[in-house]
Chains A and B, each alone.
Chain A
Amino acid sequence: DIQVTQSPSSLSASVGDRVTITCRASQGISNGLSWYQQKPGQAPTLLIYAASSLQSGVPSRFSGSGSGTDFTLTISSLQPADVATYYCLQDYTPPFTFGGGTKVEIK
């Protein structure tokens, strides 16, 4: 099975900062990675699919990049509404596997 390592597990940044979250797969998964945002008490929502495609309705300050084993989610200018936990998902081949999550807070 493909393992996914996400880092950091948490971060604190100021409003307007650029924030970067990383996921590394244990083997090559092409662009088979998606990113999800989960706010407290809510279900996750899809942000990025196919590593770099922005889901409809998601603000353009979110972007994804990477291919193979290394992937990045970037928030170009952190906003208070972005306080949440972010997860990557390896969806290249079953069994799918989530990263451990990154909790993003405002400093």
Chain B
Amino acid sequence: EVQLVESGGGLVKPGGSLRLSCAASKFTFSSYTMNWVRQAPGKGLEWVSSISISSTYISYADSVKGRFTVSRDNAKNSLYLQMNSLRAEDTAVYYCAREVGYSGTYSLDYWGQGTLVTVSS
């Protein structure tokens, strides 16, 4: 079965940086657009970013634009999220999710278990 395993979370001070990774297995990673979604403690889901198969198309939520950078390495079956200038409001569990297309629509059919990022002094 498809596996997505996030890592790299932890405690970081405001203004600091962190790089998240998502290791993919049991599917052809290079054939799928990938997404990052986050969830602040006790709150709802927030879409963060997506990156297409060849990294040609990249999108960000307004809340992270200019601070976060998504990338992927298809040779290593890995997805990354470089997070700079972190703020307290970035505290959340970060999930990576596989995107699948169907007749012009998209959905997130597999999710990792998430990695917790805490931004606090």
| Interface residues in chain A, defined as those with a beta carbon under 8 Å from any beta carbon in chain B | 1, 30-34, 36, 38, 42-46, 49-51, 53, 55, 85, 87, 89, 91-92, 94-101
| Bound CA span A101–B62, Å | 20
What are the residues of chain B within 8 A of A49 when measuring CB–CB?
100, 102, 105, 107, 109
What are the residues of chain B within 8 A of A44 when measuring CB–CB?
37, 45, 95, 108, 111
B46 at the interface (CB under 8 A from A): yes
| Bound CA span A12–B105, Å | 31
Q: Contact mask B88-113 → A, CB, 8 Å, 1/0?
A: 00000001000010111111110111
What are the residues of chain B within 8 A of A99 when measuring CB–CB?
44
Question: Taking chain B's interface residues, is the majority helix, strand, or loop, or is none over half, making it mixed?
Answer: strand
- Give the Cβ gap from A55 to chain B, nearest Cβ, in Å: 7
What are the residues of chain A within 8 A of B45 when measuring CB–CB?
36, 38, 44, 87, 89, 98, 101
| Bound CA span A89–B109, Å | 12
For B35, B102, B108, B112, the residue with the greatest tally of chain A CB atoms inside 10 Å of its CB is B108
Q: How many of chain B's residues touch chain A, expressed as a range?
A: 20 to 34
| Bound CA span A87–B46, Å | 10
| Bound CA span A101–B47, Å | 13
A43-B95, A89-B47, A101-B44 given as contacts; is B61 within 8 A of A95 (CB)?
yes
Q: Give me 5 other A-B pairs in contact (C-beta within 8 A), A94-B50, A98-B45 excluded.
A: A32-B104, A91-B106, A91-B108, A94-B59, A96-B35
